[in-house]
Amino acid sequence: MFEFCTDHETLPRLQWLACYLTTGKHMGFYASFGTVLLLLAITAPAALLFGFGGASAARSRLLPLNWLGKAYIAVVRGVPDIAFFLFFVIALDQAFEWVRHQVKCPDWDQPIRQGNDFVVCAAAKLPLGTAPQWVHETYGFFVAVLTFAIVFGAFAANVLFGAMRAVPHAQIETAEAYGMSHRQTFWRVLVPQMWVYALPGLSNLWMVLIKATPLLFLLGVEDIVYWARELGGTANPRFTDYPHGDWRMWYFLALLVFYLGFTRISELVLDRIMRRLSHGQATAGGEAQRRAKGAA
């Protein structure tokens, strides 16, 4: 990175550190922070969407849809995350490939399952075996997003389901008395009011999601915890220009600061949202705001 880094053995300590912290390997570490933030930025709305769908389905009067929503909430919440991540992702990936295989290679005569191997024709591979590495990484990333969204969506669905029931029933009845249809009551009365009840539960989920990102490595995505372990491990002078002892503690300390800082910022933002949502609501928070305004 810097020009003086070429003779790394004679560097004064500060410059050595500057060179050390800008190796290609460290760049991978810094980039993985972006990966994690991007994952959170995409997963959170996606999970909310899954949750909203699940909760609406679980409230539905259509029986099959109702069962589907309730089964989704119950099953996904009940399966341990790690089992879900190991089993479901491989199954999902194989399901995609199986479908592509049926479409693209109809005259394939060999069995797809050969002992332990899962063999589909080359054209059905996802991504194709010939694809460059970044395509594989992007694909893995999106499979990770989808899995996270399904898992956290189930928890969000349960939170939203509860929040929808917490909206005072009198409000719904009044809306119906005014002649609103089911759909209108749902979108104009129920949904705008439920968020204030859902937010505490959703903010918990968000915090858990932030901390769950190391599960990414199970899916082959190199996340910050992987790099911290890799970079912090003892570096033998035979294999690196920047040898050092076991520095994992320092790397994990950096992660600690990152996670704590990130959750703190989240808390501040969530507090603001809560204040805004409480405005004009028939809740204790909303009442407090009304009083404060009256006093002023």
Partner 1 sequence: MKKLVLATAALALCAGMASADTVRMGTEGAYPPWNFINDSGQVDGFERALGDELCKRAELTCEWVTNEWDSIIPNLVSGNYDVIIAGMSITDERDEVIDFTQNYTPPDPSAYLSLSADLDVEGAVIAAQTNTIQAAFVAEKGWTLVEFATPEETIAAVRNGEADAVLADKSYLAPVADEEADLVLLEREEEIGGGVGMGVRESDGELKAKFDAAIQSMKDDGSLNTLISKWEVSSTF
- In SS3 terms, the chain reads as CCHHHHHCCCCCHHHHHHHHCCCHHHHHHHHHHHHHHHHHHHHHHHHHHHHHHHHHHHHCCCHHHHHHHHHHHHHHHHCCHHHHHHHHHHHHHHHHHHHHHHHHCCCCCCCCEECCEECCCHHHCCCCCCCCHHHHHHHHHHHHHHHHHHHHHHHHHHHHHHHHHHCCHHHHHHHHHCCCCHHHHHHHHHHHHHHHHHHHHHHHHHHHHHHHHHHHHHHCCCCHHHHHHHHHCCECCCCCCCCECCCHHHHHHHHHHHHHHHHHHHHHHHHHHHHHHHCCCCCHHHHHHHHHHHHC
Q: Which is nearer to partner 1, 176 or 222 (CB)?
A: 222
What does the alpha-carbon distance between residue 252 and residue 228 come to, in Å, rounded to a whole number? 6
142 is an interface residue for partner 1 by CB under 8 A: yes
CA angle 167, 169, 174 (to 5 degrees): 115
80 is an interface residue for partner 1 by CB under 8 A: no
240 is an interface residue for partner 1 by CB under 8 A: yes
154 is an interface residue for partner 1 by CB under 8 A: no
CB of 125 to partner 1, least distance (A): 7
129 is an interface residue for partner 1 by CB under 8 A: yes
109 is an interface residue for partner 1 by CB under 8 A: no
Which of 16, 52, 108, 139: binder of partner 1 (CB under 8 A)? 139
146 is an interface residue for partner 1 by CB under 8 A: yes
What does the alpha-carbon distance between residue 46 and residue 187 come to, in Å, rounded to a whole number? 20
CB of 117 to partner 1, least distance (A): 5
229 is an interface residue for partner 1 by CB under 8 A: yes
Stretch that binds partner 1, among 10-18, 63-71, 87-95, 166-174 (CB under 8 A): 87-95
197 is an interface residue for partner 1 by CB under 8 A: no
103 is an interface residue for partner 1 by CB under 8 A: no
- Mark residues 32-61: x for contact with partner 1 by CB under 8 A, - for none: --------------x--x------------
Q: Which is nearer to partner 1, 233 or 285 (CB)?
A: 233
Stretch that binds partner 1, among 9-17, 63-71, 116-124, 208-216 (CB under 8 A): 116-124
- The dihedral sign for the CA sequence 117, 123, 127, 130: positive
CB of 56 to partner 1, least distance (A): 15
214 is an interface residue for partner 1 by CB under 8 A: no
Q: Which residues bind to partner 1, rule: CB under 8 A?
A: 23-25, 27-28, 46, 49, 86, 90, 93-94, 96-97, 114-120, 125-133, 135-136, 138-139, 142, 145-146, 217-218, 220, 222, 229-230, 233-234, 236-243, 246, 248
